[in-house]
C-alpha cells in the first residue's frame, strides 16, 4: 500500500535489524536497534499535506516525523515519533503526533475500503514518542521514570539526550 519512497529501510546490525531515522529539520539522526524484522517505517513527510483542504487553525495539517508499524510475536504496535533538535513546545508536539495518528486512521480505512481487508490494522496498540535535544551531548543520559503508558499523544514518552535506543523501550517493555 505504501510506496517505497515513503518507507525507511531496516538495516542489519550484527544479525538483528535496526533503523536510522534522520530528523527532517536538523542535522542529527536516531538509531532504533533490535527492531522486529517485519516492521514497516513510514515517513509521513512524503505524503502531501492536507493544507489544500483544511485551514490548519487547530494544527490538523501537522504531522510527526515517523510512523513505525510492527507486528511482533508479543504484540502489534504503531509507534509515532516526533524528533526535535532542541527544546520542544509540548502542545505543538502533541498536534504533530495527532496528525500522524490521523494519517494511520486514513490508511486503515483505505485498507478496509479499497483492499477489502475488514480488520486491516485492527488490534494494534499505539505508542507516542517525543525525542528531543539530541544535539546536546554533555548532559546526563539518565531519564526520569514515567509510570504511565504512552498510548495517547498527551501521555507521550519523552526521550532526551539520547540518539540510540532499543525497540522494546518504545513499546514500554523496558524500564
User: Exposed, middle or buried by CB within 10 Å (0-12, 13-18, 19+), for 24?
Assistant: exposed
Which residues form the domain of 98?
Answer: 4-171
pLDDT over 90 for what percent of the chain? 62
pLDDT tens-digit readout, 116-128: 999 999 999 999 9
Residue 25's pLDDT band (cuts 50, 70, 90): confident
Average pLDDT of the residues in 9-35 = 91
SS3 156: coil
C-alpha cell at 30: 536516531
pLDDT on residue 174? 65
**Cα–Cα distance, 167 to 170 (Å, whole number):** 5
**Cα–Cα distance, 1 to 41 (Å, whole number):** 13
Question: Is pLDDT of 147 > 60?
Answer: no
C-alpha cell at 169: 523501550
Please check whether residue 160 is in contact with residue 130, taking contact to mean a CB–CB distance below 8 angstroms: no
User: Exposed, middle or buried by CB within 10 Å (0-12, 13-18, 19+), for 93?
Assistant: buried
Q: How many domains does the chain have?
A: 1
Q: Which residue has the higher pLDDT, 28 or 92?
A: 92
Question: Is pLDDT of 26 > 90?
Answer: no
CA angle 95/72/24 to nearest 5° reads 35
SS3 100: helix
What are the Cα distances from residue 139, in Å, to 96, 135, 159, 161, 173?
27, 10, 13, 7, 25
Amino acid at each position: 500500500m505504501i510506496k517505497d519512497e515513503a518507507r525507511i529501510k531496516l538495516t542489519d546490525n550484527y544479525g538483528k535489524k535496526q533503523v536510522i531515522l534522520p530528523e527532517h529539520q536538523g542535522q542529527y539522526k536516531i538509531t532504533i536497534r533490535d527492531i522486529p524484522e517485519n516492521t514497516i517505517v513510514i515517513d509521513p513527510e512524503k505524503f502531501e499535506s492536507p493544507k489544500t483542504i483544511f485551514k490548519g487553525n487547530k494544527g490538523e495539517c501537522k504531522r510527526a516525523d515517523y510512523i513505525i508499524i510492527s507486528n511482533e510475536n508479543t504484540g502489534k504496535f504503531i509507534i509515532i515519533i516526533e524528533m526535535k533538535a532542541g527544546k520542544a513546545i509540548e502542545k505543538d508536539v502533541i498536534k504533530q503526533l495527532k496528525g500522524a495518528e490521523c494519517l494511520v486512521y486514513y490508511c486503515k480505512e483505505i485498507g478496509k475500503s479499497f483492499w477489502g481487508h475488514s480488520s486491516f490494522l485492527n488490534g494494534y496498540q499505539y505508542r507516542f514518542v517525543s525525542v528531543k535535544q539530541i544535539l546536546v551531548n554533555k548532559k546526563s543520559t539518565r531519564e526520569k521514570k514515567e509510570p504511565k503508558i504512552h498510548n495517547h499523544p498527551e501521555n507521550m514518552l519523552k526521550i532526551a539526550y539520547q540518539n540510540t535506543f532499543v525497540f522494546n523501550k518504545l513499546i514500554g517493555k523496558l524500564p
